[in-house]
Amino acid sequence: METRNKGSFGTQKLDDERRVRVLSPGMLVFKRFVRNKLAITGLVILIVMFAFSFLGGLFSPYTQAQVFKHDEAIMKEYATCMLNTDLRYTVRKGAEFPDAAHAQAALAITQGNPSFTYGDRTYSLVKEGEDFYTIGDAIKIVEARTLANKFSLSAVKDSAFTISPAFAAAAQTAITAGAAQFKADGDVYTVVNAGKTSAIYHVESIALATKNVYDPYEEQYKDIATDFGFRYASELALSKGKTQFSFDGANYSYETIDGDIVVSKDENGTAVAVCTISDMLVSSKANDIFLSSQEKSLIRNAIRAKETEFVIQDAAGANVEYRIDRVNQTYTVRTLTESRVITMYEFPTAAHLLGTDSNGMDVMTRLMYGGRISLMVGFVVVFLETFLGIVMGGISGYFGGWIDTAIMRFVDLFNCIPFYPIVMIIGTVMDKMEIDPIKRIFILMAVLGILGWTSIARVVRGQILSLREQDFMVATEATGIRVSRKIFKHLVPNVMPLLIVQATMSLGGIIITEATLSFLGLGVKYPLASWGSIINAATNVHIMTNYWFIWIPAGMLIVLTVLGFNFVGDGLRDAFDPKMKR
């Protein structure tokens, strides 16, 4: 293309560079930008980050919340054992003796009282043997009076009790002697003296207290070993030194084996072990595991022998090794058990290129999905800041006067709000309200955007104050177009190059802010991830020093992304600068 000037300059040829400058200012900006090697480097970094975050998840074989597990033999708690020094209570079926009344019973035993009260009920306490007590529900049946050396008995109203001569004689003897209990007609009665008037209570045994521990030999004998009547008959025989007793029509005998008393039932001349009686309480650590009396005996014998390891044959006849750990007076039995466990902190492998985290999730997949949230938060917050800043700054700069003063004072007031305390308060409120993790992200973006628009508003206001006095704005006054059109169609577009540069450079700062909040536990919550929340695992010194793959990749992604935005921002600033020479 050639142009001819009829003046003294003669014929001139417009070269490619002059054509770009005259015909396409946008191409000139682009040309300046691509000449900046640092800006192109930043652009390449951002392209890689976006591809990794938004396209990587499509090719990853895992999801961001997928938990990986594996089978592993671990030392798992099998049972606990401790020397029983407290009274254990067995309540008769159908009777009421609440757990809260146990403390009152223990206090009465300590003080040697024959009765105690709980609530509006009175209970009797009878010592049957060494560390063996029966607890009865005391029902007032008779009142006794002694007046002028005359003794009289009268049945309580609404009581069906009949006073027999044997009862009257035993009651008079007990009251005269100041006794707390007496027996008559085969039953036990309790006396409560109150001066010349005494109350006599009938005692119905509803519970027993003993320090002995009953363990069923097999699961089929569990009901009988826990039965009140069986235990009462057994304890009564033991307290009297007997070797046999009868219960429910069956005969039982005792035999001491390795420190435990084995109770056997006579079945057609054959002794069948029913349960063991010991002074050690052995309990399973799992509800689905039943420890037989034989297994418990082996555990108790190992503890009595002060062994740290022992062997028990399982149902298949294989030997299973057990280990005993002692803490004070409590013994914990552990054994190797094949368990399905979470693959935590697995070092990088072919299946997991960056290993797994504390939740057994693939770190690289978490980084991909976390990048989406970090980048999305950055762009949404910058867009919201820019929008609010353009609106408020444009109105303030165009109108000036009292409107400008009011908006700027509002900006000053907004700048006085402490950022991190406000965010911490909002984060605490969201934790208390248990806000959904997805909703939490949008609330976080709104808070960051609302708290960060003031600097953009000041920039827009300053630019518009200088632009509104120029010739093109005088022309708009002559045409009579609307105020909104003057601001957003003529003034704001002239500020956009500067805003683009500022927005690009502030993206990195927003990503760092989001990472900081997530690191402090105020941002993105599990199971969602962001680069900041992934680094949060490095608050533990052990993890930081031993599992580099948990936090270093996320930190590097944040550094590269922020550098990329800063490089691109610097390149755009240089490209838009009309005084820049290339």
Between residues 261 and 536, which one has the greater pLDDT? Answer: 261
The pair of structure tokens assigned to 205 is 């045994």
The rounded mean pLDDT for the chain is 82
Give the residue among 376, 502, 366, 362 at the shortest CA–CA distance from 438. 376
Pick the more confident residue, 292 or 123.
Answer: 123
Contacts of 200 (CB under 8 A, 6+ apart): 140, 141, 142, 143, 144, 153, 171, 189, 190, 191, 192
**DSSP string spanning 543-556?**
HHHH-HHHHHHHHH
pLDDT, mean of residues 12-35: 63
Q: pLDDT-derived band of residue 478, with 50, 70 and 90 as boundaries?
A: low
Q: Are 370 and 502 in contact (CB under 8 A)?
A: no
Q: What is the pLDDT of residues 399-434, one digit of tens each?
A: 878 888 898 898 888 888 888 888 888 888 888 888
How many other CB atoms are found less than 10 A from the CB of residue 280? 20
- Supply the pLDDT for residue 67: 92
* pLDDT for the residue 537: 75
pLDDT for the residue 440: 85
Q: 541 pLDDT exceeds 50?
A: yes
The per-residue pLDDT for 5 is 47
Any idea which of 102-116, 264-278, 466-480 has the lowest mean pLDDT?
Answer: 466-480
User: Strand ranges (DSSP E) for 211-269?
Assistant: 213-216, 244-247, 250-257, 260-267
What's the pLDDT tens digit per position in 281-301?
888 877 767 787 778 888 888
What's the pLDDT score for residue 20? Answer: 45
- pLDDT tens for 231-248 read 988 988 888 888 888 888
Cβ 530 vs Cβ 513: under 8 Å:
no
* Domain layout of the chain by residue ranges: 27-58+353-576, 88-210
Whether the predicted pLDDT of 129 surpasses 70: yes
The lowest-confidence range among 18-27, 59-68, 361-370 is: 18-27
Question: For the chain, how many helices (H) and strands (E)?
Answer: 20, 20
Strand pairing category for 270-278 and 280-284:
unpaired
CATH number of 27-58+353-576, picked from 1.10.3720.10, 1.10.3660.10, 3.90.1150.10, 1.20.1300.10:
1.10.3720.10
Confidence of residue 522 (pLDDT cuts 50, 70, 90): confident
Closest by Cα among 372, 308, 336, 412 to 77: 336
The string of DSSP letters for 480-542 reads T--HHHIIIIIIHHHHHHHHHHHHHHHHHHHHHHHHHHHHTTSS--TTS--HHHHHGGGGSHH
Q: Is 24's pLDDT higher than 80?
A: no
Tokens of 395: 């109105």
pLDDT-derived band at 7, boundaries 50, 70, 90: very low
512 falls in which pLDDT band (50, 70, 90)?
confident
In which band, very low, low, confident or very high, does the pLDDT at 4 lie, cut at 50, 70 and 90? Answer: very low
Q: What is the pLDDT of residues 141-160, one digit of tens each?
A: 888 887 767 788 888 776 66
The SS3 assignment for 322 reads strand
pLDDT at 495 over 80: no
Work out the pLDDT band at 480, boundaries 50, 70, 90.
Answer: low
Most confident of 17-26, 219-228, 463-472, 519-528: 219-228
Q: How far is CA 300 from CA 22, 138, 295, 324, in A?
A: 99, 39, 9, 11
Mean pLDDT of 165-172: 84
Tokens 């002697």 found at: 177
Instruction: With beta carbons less than 8 A apart as the criterion, state whether 356 and 363 touch.
Output: yes
pLDDT value, residue 579: 54
User: What percent of the chain has a predicted confidence (pLDDT) above 70?
Assistant: 90
CA distance 285 to 241: 35
In terms of phi and psi (left: phi > 0; alpha: psi -120 to 50; beta: otherwise), the region of 272 is beta
Query: What does the block give as tokens for 538?
Result: 């490095």
Q: pLDDT, tens digit, for every residue of 81-104?
A: 988 888 889 998 888 888 888 888
Average pLDDT for 159-182:
80
Percent of the chain clearing pLDDT 90 (strictly above): 9
Q: Tell me how far apart the alpha carbons of residues 203 and 135 are, in angstroms, rounded to a whole number.
A: 8
Instruction: Grade residue 356 by pLDDT with cuts at 50, 70 and 90.
Output: very high
Residue 362 banded pLDDT, cuts 50, 70, 90: very high
Instruction: Give the pLDDT score at 470.
Output: 66
Does 373 have pLDDT greater than 80?
yes
- Report pLDDT for 429: 85
- How many residues are listed for the chain in this entry? 582
Average pLDDT over residues 320-344: 86
Residue 553 has what pLDDT?
92
